[in-house]
Structure 1
Amino acid sequence: MSIGSTKSLTQINDERRPRSFELPQLLQARTGKMTRELLLNPGDHGLGMTPESLRAETTTVAACGYCATGCGLRLHVRDGQAVGLTPETDYPVNLGMACPKGWEALEVLDADDRATHPLLRDANGELKRVDWDTALTTFTERLKAIQSEHGNDSVAFLSTGQIPCEEMAFLGALAKFGMGMLHGDGNTRQCMATAVTAYKESFGFDAPPYTYDDFQQSDCLVFVGANPCIGHPIMWERVLRNPNSPEIIVLDPRRTETAMAATQHVQLRPKNDLAILYAITQHLIASDLVDHEFIAAHTTGYDELASHVAAFTPDAVGPAAGISADEIRRAAETIGQAKAASLWWTMGVNQSYEGTRTAQAMINIALITGNIGRPGTGANSITGQCNAMGSRLWSNTTNLFGHHKFESPEDRARVASILGIDVDTIPTETGWSYDRIVEGIRNDEIKGLWVIATNPAHSWIDRGDFKVLLDKLDFLVVQDMYASTETARLADLVLPAAGWGEKEGTFINSERRYGLLKKVRKAPGEALADFQIFRAVAAYWGVEDMFADWTHPEAVFETMQAASAGRPCDITGIDGYRQLDQCGGIQWPWSREDAAAQQTPPQERRLFADGSFCHPDAKARLIVDNITPMPEPPDQAFPILLMSGRGTVSQWHTQTRTSKSKVLRKLYPERPYVEIHPTDASLIGVHNGDTVSVRSRRGEVFVTAMVTPTVQRNQAFIPMHYDIINELTLRHFDPHSRQPSFKDCAVAIRKA
């Protein structure tokens, strides 16, 4: 299938791009000075389209850059600039649909607060415009000075799930192999670390097994801590297209939009999901609704699982969880009797202090019922950011490049050989997790921090504490497309970056599909693609020879392919960007052997159809654990449990981009609000629309009361998108994934 009805921009780029794009075209690397050509026209070097290629009107399809659904958007280009877009009808992900964020993807590029020039904080504490040479010289001298005084590991980076795989690969390799940093992590730690850890331990690899067609093939869908109607509306559209009149079971404390459409809403008390899933498992086993043949052939740990859940009977779990035992039995029997049951989760599970074990409880249910590897089945994590999976594979943070292991001499030698670098430049241990880097700042172990395309001064848990810690740093660098983010405003140096539509590369969506990002606009002012900034940093740092072959994103993609060979995520069979464009993206794995056997990749492919998993014995692990108490339960002083999550379909994360669109702003409340149950509101004398104080042990905020029965008594909910939410949240983490538990803290609410 060819997505482009006209000559694609990828084809145009491939024909016009010099295949030997050498570093001197960008930098006079030996002297560390930017060339006049780059300074005068920074948006057109090394990435994407030349002006000549865009004179004619044309259209092209690229993957959306918001969430990990990975929709295809048809971009309409005139005189070198994208002037509009429409959802692509033939793209296998969205089939002609788009959410409001996708429709407004171009609009947010024109915001007045774009970062257009490097900014450096002067002696008076003000950020002032400087040229790129000054910015890169300052970057290099300040960070090298910190390393010289305090050691290489005194400088760290915090990366993202928002930039293409090739840029993540470049950053991770540059920081860890070129600049000597040991510690670096991504904001994917805040959204997907739990799912990653669960999959690694259970399957032997970070391997979401499903394809979007499973939404339409299931006759029973279970959503735990997930509200795809709001968070991932295109996926929810797939559910609505399901022809099987499926049972939809939702486990959620709130009566969300998804729960309203469910056939069974299990409205549990918060943080009882693990116990309920164990109770469902117990009832499945007790009722003999399990696949004994599959269990024996493809899993280990069944006897331990059965023994562990024996005490979690529906009668024992139901009352404590705020539901009836019959609700648990009904849900279990619905799953066990289904022809094809699928279990889905997002942040309600991942962002929990026992999220890893909760995710694995769903994996256990899928495995013991044989609901894996077949159409409509699976234990399926829905990814958040557009390229969180790219971060998981290629960012060189929790895994060595290409999902290798830092601790493995064989893996280090293989990666060194592929990259053509000295194996001794590769660290022999995984660096610190995000929370440990933050504690490193507190303990004066981290003195310099490089933040790329993320906004932790808004998004990190216990935000007030984190902002104080940022002030302790000797040097904070923020690289972002907007100069107005909460983190950028605290920086010593701001490096202006191009955004989606202003550079090229690949994203990996929730169903493991590599989709193509295309450059259809010039970045404003002197902003550069992150890829070009990394090339420039490499030159100024003096390690340009290490990255001599990293000349443009597709060259890095070829290196990624080499590193993937023989791995579960093998992509050696992809015939470059051109084939990604023609096929509407390609799911991993797609190896040379796959390509030789079948020239065109099937659009819907799921993992583990043969029952073979990624552990050495090819069997999946059934993993259980003890229930742990809530770290900060409500009490007399703070009687309300505060939850957070996605608010409306028009908001996304910290609103760094969505707030720039007039259309999107009209679709959500401008002022932060808290959802309160009518009885609780009555007890404190609050009416809908009143201003209320929400106070935790860490801070106090003032928001609008939204009185609604969609939350239960003694519970409240504030959307995560407003910067006030993390003034309240409690700093605690899943012990296995080190992911923050954002969705539970005790608060008091009163009328302001």
Structure 2
Amino acid sequence: MSLATANDTDRLIDEFALMRKEGPLTRQLLQEPGGFGLGMIPNGCKPDSTTKMVCGFCSTGCSLNVHLKEGEAVGLTPATGDPVNVGMACPKGWEAVSVLDSPARATTPLLRRNDRLEPVSWDNALTTFAERIKAIIAEHGPDSVAFISTGQIPTEEMAMLGALAKFGMGLRHGDGNTRQCMATAVVAYKQAFGFDAPPYTYQDFEESDMIVLVGSNLCIAHPIMWERVLKNKRDPDIVVIDPRCTETAMAATWHLQIKPKSDLALFYGVANILAERGWLDESFIERHTEGVDDFVKHVAPYNLDRVSHETGLESTAIETFARFIHERERTSFWWTMGINQSYEGVRAAQSIINLALLTGNIGRPGTGANSITGQCNAMGSRLFSNTTSLFAGRDFTNDAHRQEVAETLGIDVDLIPSTTSWDYATIMENVLAGKVKALWVIATNPAHSWINQNACRDILSRLDFLVVQDSYVDTETAKSADLVLPAAAWGEKEGTFINSERRLGVIKRVKQAPGQALADFSIFKLIAHYWGCDDLFREWTSPEATFQILSRLSKGQPCDISGVEDYRMIDDAGGIQWPCPEGSPPSLANQRRLFEDHAFYTPSGRARFKFEEPKPLSEPPDDHYPLILLTGRGTSAQWHTQTRTRQSAVLRKLYPQQIYVEINPIDAKELNLEADEWVSVESRRGRVKARAFLTNSVQPGQVFLPMHYEPVNRLTDAVFDPYSRQPSYKACAVRVGPWRVHHGV
């Protein structure tokens, strides 16, 4: 039964049947489950009932009970008894349904004419899409078109996009916005463990004797994970390592307030103490790691005096931290963007991994070197988006991998590119260089979120053709588009997400998409039809059919999900963590910690120590720009570029509407600034007007801006980690002064 009436359904089908001038699409295609986002009640649900689904905001993957009335979602409550959130939800989760009802929703295709976006039919939009991109490729070659994917849509949609773009349309280059948040962790794990493998389960929060949070404001960024910390009955030490005194640091038992980007020096110094004093798990190291001797030699020069000078910490604090790691039976290390978004983030992440390996804190309850993911489906993107990595963690340059994928999909291996895609930064650089002429952006907002915003917007303006596929038309990127394709949002389509602890969760269609908006999966299917490559996707009939394809692609890989039968199995289990190979006992499906057998995914089966000398700040403060800018989460009611959270009246009441900058009172006095005064925050790239918030949460010489406000990335410096190519958002040089002085007001 449809959420729409039978007459409405027939009307929509008839409208879509007229889309193709050369001949209508079949009613069978239009009516199939998941086909065109018409909004079906979840299987087995009555019109007035409750169904369970995973939240669509962050990577925590909370389970929500969505309440239906006459077949349409009218509200929700957090699911009790769930292995992730155990009956809790953050403000964003509570408002997940309300943000769907927004006047800013994209409801019809829009095409730019005479410098204005005007409504057009789907037929016009997709004919334009295919004709213009084919013309650009014909004139400039296959490198002239690229796409930017996302960590916000279901895994099946990401996979369909990656297969369509790479195998069907012949595009060579595409990346995801997960490059901005998780690329560092991906590369760090691959180099150390042999595969992108966060090893933990959330139960580890409750089973640790010491929880070390590095560059992570868990209270704000992942509040449900913080609730799991609070459920720990082992009276753990909670150590926060962060330049800023965050909400998490205030609630911790111990805050190590280091200088910005001094993580490597600290962790190398701690490793040196552990080695010098014989506080190593020699048995674990000998049996399950490689490279320890070279690592111990590398950290030997990091004595207490040096590390104290470079980090700004007292020697006794560093020594005590090392001793605690040694004395506690179960230490877990956790990090997020404070580590990942750095010009040396990969080696910083690996310096944390090294400590876990030195002390055998991996593969046991309450341990691990644990990267916390950002977006709701960044893990799905990392494994199955088919952008810079081939499906299920394979390599485009590996002939055997390409052959495996070709045989699994039943396609010609020559359709699969044999070269690795350009990463996000390189795509943008090649737009600037005139090599990329068209860009297809799906469910992301680079005009707000990409580093050095002014340069980014200039780059986007140089494109011959910018296509934005999104659920909202008020994003900064959509406003600049040549073509907007309206997409259904979370709750208006179906599929799976993979959360931070590798757990698959199901999303369901509990509300009808507004206007003519379609599920991204349906848009990709239509594009395949208009492009003329839909024969390749005969088996990709629905999201769940696509899930079965991904299951086959994963078989034998570390992320094997071939034992997951269908969506109902995931739903009934409360989510299933990978790996879940065929024949896995059901008892293992709910909590699966990696490396309990201490077998890693490297050729030797051993984890690797990775290290190198730290580099200085890419843009240190000087006489002209004497302060260091830090950026990060604002409140638990905000999310990324606020595309969705600003649509909720409730959430808008929970955070400041005006951008503010945190300044230490000592600096404010020196600069003659008053609390709540309008000030100018200026870098070499741009300036921002913000309210001054005087607080000791930032150290003298530093200021902090929440990343959610649109102007912030005017300031950030476009430097990148050399291994992950992730932008370094967290530290650049700025100056602050009264707005009236700077602008003559």
Q: TM-score range by the shorter chain?
A: over 0.9
Alignment equivalent of 1:220, drawn from 200, 210, 233 = 210
Q: How many residues align?
A: 729
**1:684-695 alignment runs, 5 A limit:** 684-695=671-682
Q: In structure 2, what is the Cα distance between the partners aligned to 1:26 and 1:512?
A: 40
Residue 320 (structure 1) shift: 2.4
Q: In structure 2, what is the Cα distance between the partners aligned to 1:26 and 1:736?
A: 48
Which residue does 1:347 correspond to in 2? Answer: 337
Which residue does 2:591 correspond to in 1? Answer: 604
Alignment equivalent of 1:386, drawn from 360, 369, 376 = 376
TM-score, structure 2 length as denominator?
A: 0.95
Residue 26 (structure 1) shift: 7.1
Which residue does 2:717 correspond to in 1? Answer: 730
- 2:713 partner amino acid: N
- 2:77 partner amino acid: T
Q: In structure 2, what is the Cα distance between the partners aligned to 1:725 and 1:94?
A: 32
Does the aligned pair in 2 maintain the 1:464–1:727 contact within 8 Å? yes
Alignment equivalent of 1:615, drawn from 581, 602, 605 = 602
Which residue does 1:271 correspond to in 2? Answer: 261
Q: In structure 2, what is the Cα distance between the partners aligned to 1:263 and 1:58?
A: 44
Q: In structure 1, what is the Cα distance between the partners aligned to 2:36 and 2:106?
A: 18
Q: In structure 2, what is the Cα distance between the partners aligned to 1:48 and 1:375?
A: 42
Q: In structure 2, what is the Cα distance between the partners aligned to 1:32 and 1:289?
A: 73
Q: In structure 1, what is the Cα distance between the partners aligned to 2:708 and 2:491?
A: 23
Which residue does 1:356 correspond to in 2? Answer: 346
Alignment CA distance shift 1:557-1:37 (3 Å): closer
Residue 603 (structure 1) shift: 1.7
Alignment equivalent of 2:366, drawn from 351, 376, 382 = 376
Alignment CA distance shift 1:29-1:559 (3 Å): farther
Q: Deviations over 1:323-369 (max 9, x none)?
A: 11111111111111110000000000000001000000010100110
Q: Which runs of 5+ in 1 are unaligned?
A: 1-8, 13-21
Alignment equivalent of 2:514, drawn from 507, 516, 524 = 524
Which residue does 1:193 correspond to in 2? Answer: 183
Q: In structure 2, what is the Cα distance between the partners aligned to 1:460 and 1:439?
A: 12
Residue 248 (structure 1) shift: 1.0
Residue 52 (structure 1) shift: 10
Is residue 2:409 matched to residue 1:409? no
Which residue does 1:509 correspond to in 2? Answer: 499
Is residue 2:664 matched to residue 1:677? yes
Which residue does 2:63 correspond to in 1? Answer: 72
Does the aligned pair in 1 maintain the 2:39–2:512 contact within 8 Å? no
Is residue 2:160 matched to residue 1:160? no
Q: Deviations over 1:389-409 (max 9, x none)?
A: 000000011210111110111
Q: In structure 2, what is the Cα distance between the partners aligned to 1:224 and 1:280?
A: 14
Residue 601 (structure 1) shift: 3.5
- 1:714 partner amino acid: G
Q: In structure 1, what is the Cα distance between the partners aligned to 2:417 and 2:372?
A: 31
Residue 675 (structure 1) shift: 0.2
Q: In structure 2, what is the Cα distance between the partners aligned to 1:333 and 1:317?
A: 16
Alignment equivalent of 1:324, drawn from 314, 318, 321 = 314
Is residue 2:729 matched to residue 1:742? yes
Which residue does 1:499 correspond to in 2? Answer: 489
Alignment CA distance shift 1:486-1:28 (3 Å): closer
Does the aligned pair in 1 maintain the 2:452–2:715 contact within 8 Å? yes
Is residue 2:645 matched to residue 1:658? yes
Is residue 2:327 matched to residue 1:337? yes
Alignment equivalent of 1:81, drawn from 69, 72, 77 = 72
Alignment CA distance shift 1:600-1:632 (3 Å): same
Does the aligned pair in 2 maintain the 1:73–1:87 contact within 8 Å? yes
Which residue does 1:4 correspond to in 2? Answer: none
Residue 160 (structure 1) shift: 0.3
Which residue does 2:628 correspond to in 1? Answer: 641
Residue 30 (structure 1) shift: 9.3
Alignment equivalent of 1:172, drawn from 142, 162, 171 = 162
TM-score, structure 1 length as denominator?
A: 0.94
Q: In structure 2, what is the Cα distance between the partners aligned to 1:112 and 1:290?
A: 59
Alignment equivalent of 2:286, drawn from 264, 288, 296 = 296
Does the aligned pair in 2 maintain the 1:26–1:45 contact within 8 Å? no
- 2:100 partner amino acid: L
Which residue does 1:19 correspond to in 2? Answer: none
Residue 51 (structure 1) shift: 9.8
Does the aligned pair in 1 maintain the 2:49–2:67 contact within 8 Å? yes
Alignment CA distance shift 1:212-1:54 (3 Å): closer
Does the aligned pair in 2 maintain the 1:46–1:551 contact within 8 Å? no
Which portions of structure 1, spanning 4 or more consecutive aligned residues, are displaced by more than 2 angstroms? Answer: 24-48, 50-56, 599-602
Alignment CA distance shift 1:546-1:399 (3 Å): same
Q: In structure 2, what is the Cα distance between the partners aligned to 1:38 and 1:577?
A: 21
Alignment equivalent of 2:107, drawn from 112, 116, 141 = 116
- 2:581 partner amino acid: S
Residue 53 (structure 1) shift: 7.3
The DSSP-based 3-state class of the residue aligned with 2:198 is coil
Q: Which runs of 5+ in 2 are unaligned?
A: 4-12, 740-745
Q: In structure 1, what is the Cα distance between the partners aligned to 2:562 and 2:43?
A: 32
Which residue does 1:365 correspond to in 2? Answer: 355
The DSSP-based 3-state class of the residue aligned with 1:733 is coil
Q: In structure 2, what is the Cα distance between the partners aligned to 1:434 and 1:457?
A: 13
Is residue 2:443 matched to residue 1:441? no
Which residue does 2:51 correspond to in 1? Answer: 60
The DSSP-based 3-state class of the residue aligned with 1:518 is strand
Q: Deviations over 1:455-477 (max 9, x none)?
A: 00000000000101111100000
- 1:615 partner amino acid: T
Alignment CA distance shift 1:685-1:535 (3 Å): same
Which residue does 2:7 correspond to in 1? Answer: none
**1:524-543 alignment runs, 5 A limit:** 524-543=514-533
Does the aligned pair in 2 maintain the 1:44–1:50 contact within 8 Å? no
Which residue does 2:690 correspond to in 1? Answer: 703
Which residue does 1:135 correspond to in 2? Answer: 125
Which residue does 1:231 correspond to in 2? Answer: 221
Is residue 2:476 matched to residue 1:486? yes
- 1:705 partner amino acid: A
Does the aligned pair in 2 maintain the 1:43–1:524 contact within 8 Å? no
Q: In structure 1, what is the Cα distance between the partners aligned to 2:204 and 2:244?
A: 25
Is residue 2:68 matched to residue 1:93? no
